[in-house]
Structure 1
Amino acid sequence: MKLKTLVSALLIAAPYFVNAAQFTLTDAATNTDVGNWKITNSNLGINAPFSVEKIQLHGGKQTGVDTLVINNGELEITLIPTRGMGIFNVKRHGKRILGWDSPVKEIVNPAFIDLESRNGLGWLDGFNEMMVRCGYEWTGHPGVDENGQLLSLHGRAQNTPASTVVVTIDEQPPYTITVEGEISERTFKKAELVTHTSFSVTPGSNQFAIHDTLTNKADYDDEYQIIYHSNFGHPILEKGAKVTAAAKEISPFNNYAKKGLKTWQTYLGPTKGYDEMVFNLKPIGDKDGNTLAVLHNKASDTGVAVGYNIKQLPVLTLWKNTDTRQQGYVTGIEPGTSYAYNTKYQRPLGLVPTIKAGESKHFDVTYTVLRTSKEVKKALHQVAEIQGHKKVKQVSKPLVDLTKVH
């Protein structure tokens, strides 16, 4: 099949790769932005329904935010290049299937966020996405590091607009749609970390993936941390919903979470006065390190599977925030290099890795929308195969004694 010629004043096309069409939507180096833009399978003469549309938002704190809506004929996935290439939500048949209802209603432009406000909790002023990159220079709860620097909640990546946004569509089946971006964390005398993000999906699929490459561009070694904060609410989360993850051990994040340890897999309905409970899991993988966590509704006919590799992302945080719907009824399945403790408390745990000068680290996370009881059952079977006959050991003592932290 030969690609049709595209004629559009709003479209800037880079030279085609072999068997692929590529479109540069944003490039800070050349001061390029195509504005509102759309491409469909019909434009390319492809007989598989899909569309990719760039839309700039207006009004309130979302002014100036770029979104990228990818419709693959089965799912409609909204990316946010202005907010660290995060994923806002996922819809199926016009209704949200992945995402949650935060008190933050707009997709907030990072220009309106002060990360150091509220003693480092300013990050919460924009928190409403399905998938948030927490990192990469640091992550975890806010606090003063050993060198006296205030580390704000969950780092800066999610509030860093992408410097480049490029869409590539394969000409040959399965016509993979790829969206690439670049997130730069560059501070004079501090850090020079650059993350190449990549999102991919194929037409008709119920699965999509992110493939990120973090590179230390500096001449000196540096620390890094990352948590892929993956958040799910209604319709999957409800009273009686259940989470299953292949793991060898689970412990409470703090003393408050101790009372929820025995029932860590199940969920309450929206509960007023419920403070968040967080659990630290030590996941296990198959022979290649691949592992899976599954969340499904009470009827076990709708859910989501989160796949990752423990060689890249060795720990898993489970965040249970079953507060009222208005306050944000949500749970987080969060693979990462680190738990959610402040950085200085994770160094003794060996969870603040080093990236050498010029070195790159790779992170892959796959999300599968489970649409039927059969698909839920299959995903749970995959977890069971990885788990084998091992029991998930419950450890009542938190990894960090926060009662002694000042």
Structure 2
Amino acid sequence: MKVRIGMGLLLCCALPLQAAEFVLVDTAQGLDVGNWKVSSDSLGIKSKIPFSIEKKRLHGGRQEGVDVIVVDNGTLQMTLVPTRGMGIYEVRGGDLRLGWESPVKEIVNPAFIDLESRGGLGWLDGFNEMLVRCGYEWTGHPGVDDDGRLKSLHGRVQNTPASVVRVTVDETPPYAIHVRGRVDEKTFKFSDLSTWTGVTLVPGEAAFTVEDKLTNQADYDNEYQIIYHGNFGAPLLEEGARISAPVKQISPFNDYARKGLDSWQTYLGPTKGFDEMVFNIVPYSDAKGNTLAVLENRAGNAGVAVDFNVKQLPVLTLWKNTDTLQQGYVTGIEPGTSYAYSTKYQRPLGLVPTIKAGESKHFTLRYQLLRDKGEVQAALDRVKAVQGSQPTELRRDPLVQLPH
């Protein structure tokens, strides 16, 4: 393996070359390479599908100082944001986009966000990404926990800049591209969590894999929670779009969502006055714990498949926010350890797990852009195979009775 800072060689071992690694950010070394780019050509890789990885810094407004990494694997163009917890801003493939149009147009530097403003809703000041990690110390709606402390919306990790960022390119076919970042949640007396986030793209593939490793570095056991908040708008989301998953049980998040329970699989077009509807789902899985959810457009010729494992992420939240385009027309497909209730309501549900001192937890998800009817149907067939003849329970009452 070659380990480089930027384009300068740092270390070369005597073993056969299998990968080239570039260190882009490392706070322990006081290192930030600034604007940087590498490509298959500059690496001397004779790939049939050229690819590139570029890091650049944004300027102006609330995005001042934000770093983004754009990975082009020849089929997909992904924009990652190390400054925002290694979140994924968007993924584009041809005429299709995984992402959505939020009223928040800039990629906001966390320095301009107060998570506790608006009663703990400050997180929304920067919310516009395709994939947001909600956690890991806590997640869910804001609320005062049993210990009397306010826990703000969806935790802190998405508004924490990565302390280390590395890019690795395999130097043997299929030349997989790996972008990894370490995001730390460390507060004296409270938390000592470190998460190595990872995204892998293979040149030419219309899919990518998220592989994260959460470690509790404290000497004490602690709670943790995570929701992988994947967000999709037009062109996939439209009137008549449909969500499919192998569902064991589905329930409304609150009384408002109850009236949408029977039509949970279909979507309205942009609708003024439509408040968000959220549904709690217990998915079925195969013998290995693998399951998926599929969003398809009205014509059934484009969509996205989200694969995950219920041994890591046992529940699924479906967020339907079919408000106006200007307000934010979007749906969330959100595998997690927890639903979106505030933490104190989830402990009685057994959805606030514990991570032991020194223990690590692993999370793997795969996102596939479905580009034609054949790919959509193949994904739907996988849903049907997991569901089989097993029944779906529509639970009419919310799992939690929230105060009005």
Normalising by the smaller structure, the TM-score range is over 0.9
Q: Which residue of structure 2 lines up, in the alignment, with residue 306 of structure 1? A: 306
Question: Could you say what secondary structure the match of 1:167 adopts?
Answer: strand
For 2:7, which of 2, 8, 11 is the aligned residue? Answer: 11
User: Contact conserved, 1:11 with 1:34, CA < 8 A, in 2?
Assistant: no
Q: CA deviation at 1:45?
A: 1.6
For 2:290 and 2:6, the matched residues in 1 are separated by 41
For 1:400 and 1:266, the matched residues in 2 are separated by 24
- Alignment pair present for 1:274 and 2:245: no
For 2:245 and 2:9, the matched residues in 1 are separated by 43
User: Contact conserved, 2:306 with 2:365, CA < 8 A, in 1?
Assistant: yes
Residues 16 and 200 of structure 1, relative CA distance in 2, 3 Å threshold: farther
Q: Which residue of structure 1 lines up, in the alignment, with residue 152 of structure 2? A: 152
For 2:102 and 2:11, the matched residues in 1 are separated by 41
Kindly provide the CA deviation profile for residues 104-123 of structure 1, in whole angstroms up to 9, marking residues without a partner as x: 00000000000000000000
Q: Which residue of structure 2 lines up, in the alignment, with residue 261 of structure 1? A: 261
Q: Which residue of structure 2 lines up, in the alignment, with residue 103 of structure 1? A: 103
Q: Which residue of structure 2 lines up, in the alignment, with residue 44 of structure 1? A: 43
Question: Could you say what secondary structure the match of 2:28 adopts?
Answer: helix
Q: Which residue of structure 2 lines up, in the alignment, with residue 26 of structure 1? A: 25
Residues 52 and 214 of structure 1, relative CA distance in 2, 3 Å threshold: same
- Alignment pair present for 1:234 and 2:238: no
Question: Could you say what secondary structure the match of 2:118 adopts?
Answer: helix
The letter for the 1-side match of 2:91 is V
User: Contact conserved, 2:6 with 2:23, CA < 8 A, in 1?
Assistant: no
For 1:16 and 1:148, the matched residues in 2 are separated by 53
Q: CA deviation at 1:22?
A: 0.5
What's the RMSD between the two structures over aligned residues? 1.5
Equivalences for residues 335-374 of structure 1 within 5 A? 335-374=335-374
User: Structure 2 regions of 5+ residues with no counterpart?
Assistant: none
Q: Which residue of structure 2 lines up, in the alignment, with residue 68 of structure 1? A: 69
Structure 1 stretch displaced more, 44-53 or 224-233: 44-53
For 1:77 and 1:12, the matched residues in 2 are separated by 25
For 1:15 and 1:52, the matched residues in 2 are separated by 21
Kindly provide the CA deviation profile for residues 263-309 of structure 1, in whole angstroms up to 9, marking residues without a partner as x: 00000000000000000000111110000100010000000000000
Kindly provide the CA deviation profile for residues 11-30 of structure 1, in whole angstroms up to 9, marking residues without a partner as x: 34543574110100000100
Q: CA deviation at 1:44?
A: 1.3
Q: CA deviation at 1:392?
A: 1.6
User: Structure 1 regions of 5+ residues with no counterpart?
Assistant: none
Kindly provide the CA deviation profile for residues 139-162 of structure 1, in whole angstroms up to 9, marking residues without a partner as x: 000010000110000000000000
The letter for the 1-side match of 2:368 is T
Kindly provide the CA deviation profile for residues 164-185 of structure 1, in whole angstroms up to 9, marking residues without a partner as x: 0000000000100001100000
Question: Could you say what secondary structure the match of 2:267 adopts?
Answer: coil
For 2:19 and 2:66, the matched residues in 1 are separated by 28
Kindly provide the CA deviation profile for residues 42-99 of structure 1, in whole angstroms up to 9, marking residues without a partner as x: 0112122100000100000000000000000000000000000000001123x45100
Structure 1 stretch displaced more, 382-391 or 339-348: 382-391
Q: Which residue of structure 1 lines up, in the alignment, with residue 123 of structure 2? A: 123
TM-score, length-normalised on structure 2?
0.97
The letter for the 2-side match of 1:67 is V
The letter for the 1-side match of 2:168 is T
Q: Which residue of structure 2 lines up, in the alignment, with residue 134 of structure 1? A: 134
Q: Which residue of structure 1 lines up, in the alignment, with residue 192 of structure 2? A: 192
User: Contact conserved, 2:296 with 2:302, CA < 8 A, in 1?
Assistant: yes
Kindly provide the CA deviation profile for residues 320-369 of structure 1, in whole angstroms up to 9, marking residues without a partner as x: 00000000000000000000000000000000000000000000011000
Question: Could you say what secondary structure the match of 1:256 adopts?
Answer: helix
The letter for the 1-side match of 2:193 is L
For 1:333 and 1:398, the matched residues in 2 are separated by 19
User: Contact conserved, 2:6 with 2:22, CA < 8 A, in 1?
Assistant: no
For 1:177 and 1:388, the matched residues in 2 are separated by 36
Question: Could you say what secondary structure the match of 1:42 adopts?
Answer: coil
Q: CA deviation at 1:214?
A: 0.4
The letter for the 2-side match of 1:19 is Q
For 1:27 and 1:96, the matched residues in 2 are separated by 34
For 2:32 and 2:12, the matched residues in 1 are separated by 19
Aligned residues: 399
- State the percentage of identical aligned residues: 63
Q: CA deviation at 1:403?
A: 3.5
TM-score, length-normalised on structure 1?
0.96
For 1:309 and 1:15, the matched residues in 2 are separated by 37
The letter for the 2-side match of 1:58 is H
User: Contact conserved, 2:200 with 2:209, CA < 8 A, in 1?
Assistant: yes
Q: Which residue of structure 1 lines up, in the alignment, with residue 208 of structure 2? A: 208
Residues 385 and 16 of structure 1, relative CA distance in 2, 3 Å threshold: farther
User: Contact conserved, 1:15 with 1:22, CA < 8 A, in 2?
Assistant: no
